[in-house]
Amino acid sequence: AQKVTQAQTEISVVEKEDVTLDCVYETRDTTYYLFWYKQPPSGELVFLIRRNSFDEQNEISGRYSWNFQKSTSSFNFTITASQVVDSAVYFCALSGNSGGYQKVTFGTGTKLQVIP
């Protein structure tokens, strides 16, 4: 069975601070994808990034960066110089090849509040 753990339920930071959202996963699949989604107060889940299990390169997109470490089964998400618009619930997710990538296992989410 697959499992995604987001131990941080809620985080509050002051605007312009950096913040890291943790994600730890469990899977027996040989190939899998990891994802991060953002859910702003409006409710829609917005896809942020997809990472293949064979690609451990870190990725940076503007103020966002992702650190994938297969050795520790972690896929952490860092927001640099946080802004109020970053306030949202962030979900980490996993989809594996044993299920033909038909289904996604989501973590329980981390609620980020950025205080102005």
Q: Which residues form the interface with other proteins (CB under 8 A)?
A: 33, 35, 37, 42-47, 50, 91, 95, 100-104, 106-109
Least spacing, CB of residue 6 vs other proteins, in Å = 9
Q: For the chain, what's the residue count?
A: 116
**Token representation of residue 2:** 């697959």
Least spacing, CB of residue 7 vs other proteins, in Å = 14
Q: Which is nearer to other proteins, 57 or 116 (CB)?
A: 57
Any idea what the Cα angle at residue 109 is, between residues 88 and 56, rounded to 5°? Answer: 100
Least spacing, CB of residue 37 vs other proteins, in Å = 8
Contact indicator for 54, 104 with CB cutoff of 8 Å: no
Q: Rounded to whole angstroms, how far apart are CA atoms 75 and 78?
A: 10
Q: Which is nearer to other proteins, 94 or 114 (CB)?
A: 94
